[in-house]
Amino acid sequence: MASTRENFSSRIGFILAAAGSAVGIGNLVGFPVNAAKNGGGAFLIMYALFVFLICLPVMIAEMAVGRKTAKEPVGAYKSLSHNSGFWGAAGFLGVLTPFMIAVFYMVITVWVFGYIVITVSGNLDYLASGAGFGEFINSPYLFVAMIAVAGIVNFILVAGVKDGIEKAAKILMPSLLIMLVIMVVFVLTLDNAFAGIEFFLVPDFSKITPSVINGALSQAFFSLSLGMGILLTYGSYINRQTNIPNSAKLVAITDTGVAFIAGLMILPAVFSFNPDVNTSELSDSSVSLIFTFLPKIFLALQSSIGYFGASAVATFFFVLVFFAAITSLVSIIEVPVSYLVTEKNHSRKKALLILTLTAGVLTLFATTSFGMVPFFTEFTEYAGANKSFFDVIYDVFYDTILPLNGFLLCVFVSYRWKKKQLSEELSVGNEGYIGSWVEKYINFSLGTFIPVIVLAIFINTVAIKFF
Ligand code: PHE
């Protein structure tokens, strides 16, 4: 019942919550590393085109399906397809995906929390020592951190959409933006900072290969929280005065802007630490950048600002990342919460309890798959390598499945729900939409090249990761 469903109190509240979901670890570290390694400015141009020409229509469609039905993915797909089993299954994938990503994201967020505790207690040098991280990810204290993070997420979600999600976003997002700007200003005062900026921005078109293109689109999908059912679910909490295309545009601009600014923070820091940095040192994964490389950079600051100052900067940075991670985590868990509430008629409290227990157990398995428990550490094998339980979740759900969900959504809105209905929904709160070039572009792209491209990305990613 749309009338009993809680809504965001304002358009800005919705935009901040959606941007809070989109802005996460992917922006703060994933994007800068990707951009710097893969052609700098050339990557940025390509990424921006992907965001606005491919991802934005998908985001708009997700929000429209959500608002139209006032449901989460399963209920939404079912109700607009007259209970088709196939589309019900597609919706289920749209709930399973966020559930599993939540597990993997939770592990990382717990680490970030642990890093805050360690830097605040004056042990930055421990994290910066090569052995620190290896020891840290096997520490039993992580279970305490896990309970703390789960507590914070539950505290926000149990308060509901308006008093929980929206309120948290209204506090955390502006704080995050201010902290980010402070960090950038600070980092730019370091020696060699501008070598980092140059590295980040000067275009090198020779680096743009098919795999970089593939990676850029995957990164954009992940960063904008697409294919996770999140924007559909958040869309189900907006009122009928909200202009969806405009709101989505603001979310995309905020997300991309933060990613860009994060580049201005990370790369100057990297170059100031070591002006002759070899890009392979940035390593393949943003995980190792944030957890092993950055602590070294922070520690190196002690020669200019002392050990205490360096620890303070490190703490400040990890708090920033933590804020970004919490608003993302909240958004992703809201999808299965909404599913249990809407489809299974549980109370919000009970839904949260069920999810905390089930996702908690899986998070426990994932946390112990870095050596603590051999069974999870050597969980399986594919693509010629041993894979832990964490790796499997990461490989299947992190970016692989998102384009598939995006593909299903495009096909659904274009050929099942139909474009005319999509246009009608998007014209609500948006006079002059029907007949505009925006409408024409959205309808055309969602029915033609976007599904083809995202399906190709899905197939290619599967080939790269599993064979
Ligand atoms: N957009 C987030 C990021 O860039 C991705 C994400 C959203 C992950 C929500 C989990 C939950 O980090």
**pLDDT tens per residue, range 237-270:** 999 999 999 999 999 999 999 999 999 999 998 8
CA 26 to ligand 1 center in whole angstroms? 6
Asked if residue 22 has its Cβ within 6 Å of ligand 1, the reply is: yes
CA 189 to ligand 1 center in whole angstroms? 30
- Assembly ipTM: 0.95
Amino acid at 250: L
Asked if residue 105 has its Cβ within 6 Å of ligand 1, the reply is: yes
Burial of 174 by CB count in 10 Å (0-12 exposed, 13-18 middle, 19+ buried)? exposed
pLDDT confidence bin for 4, thresholds 50/70/90: low
Q: Is 337 part of a structural domain of the chain?
A: yes
Q: Is 465 part of a structural domain of the chain?
A: no
Asked if residue 31 has its Cβ within 6 Å of ligand 1, the reply is: no
pLDDT of residue 284: 57
Q: Is 414 part of a structural domain of the chain?
A: no
* Ligand 1 atom 11 nearest Cα: 328
User: For a pocket test of ligand 1, which of 222, 230, 234 has the largest count of ligand atoms closer than 8 A to its C-beta?
Assistant: 222
Range name among 39-48, 69-78, 291-300 with the lowest pLDDT average: 291-300
Gap between the terminal Cα atoms of the chain: 46
Asked if residue 331 has its Cβ within 6 Å of ligand 1, the reply is: yes
* Atom of ligand 1 at shortest range from CA of 331: 9
Q: Are 22 and 225 in contact (CB under 8 A)?
A: yes
Q: Is 168 part of a structural domain of the chain?
A: yes
CA 16 to ligand 1 center in whole angstroms? 14
The residue assigned the tokens 């109370």 is 347
Nearest by Cα to 112 from 155, 167, 149:
149
Among residues of the chain, what percentage have pLDDT more than 90? 85
**pLDDT tens per residue, range 296-310:** 889 989 988 999 999
Q: Is 389 part of a structural domain of the chain?
A: no
CA 418 to ligand 1 center in whole angstroms? 29
Q: Are 268 and 105 in contact (CB under 8 A)?
A: no
> Structural domain tally of the chain?
1
Asked if residue 25 has its Cβ within 6 Å of ligand 1, the reply is: yes
pLDDT confidence bin for 285, thresholds 50/70/90: low
Q: What is the mean pLDDT of the chain?
A: 93
In whole angstroms, give the CA distance from residue 75 to residue 94.
11
Q: Is 461 part of a structural domain of the chain?
A: no
* Ligand 1 atom 9 nearest Cα: 328
Q: Is 124 part of a structural domain of the chain?
A: yes
* Ligand 1 atom 7 nearest Cα: 328
Q: Is 289 part of a structural domain of the chain?
A: yes
Asked if residue 270 has its Cβ within 6 Å of ligand 1, the reply is: no
Nearest by Cα to 63 from 218, 254, 246, 255:
246
pLDDT confidence bin for 444, thresholds 50/70/90: very high
How does 330-343 read in b/e, with b if 16+ C-beta sit within 10 Å?
Answer: bbbbbbbbbbbbbb
CATH code of the domain in which 196 resides: 1.20.1740.10
pLDDT confidence bin for 1, thresholds 50/70/90: very low
Burial of 314 by CB count in 10 Å (0-12 exposed, 13-18 middle, 19+ buried)? buried
Q: Are 298 and 310 in contact (CB under 8 A)?
A: yes
In whole angstroms, give the CA distance from residue 338 to residue 335.
5
Q: Which domain holds residue 223?
A: 2-372
* Atom of ligand 1 at shortest range from CA of 225: 1
CA-based max dimension of the chain: 66
pLDDT of residue 3: 45
CA 343 to ligand 1 center in whole angstroms? 25
* Ligand 1 atom 12 nearest Cα: 24
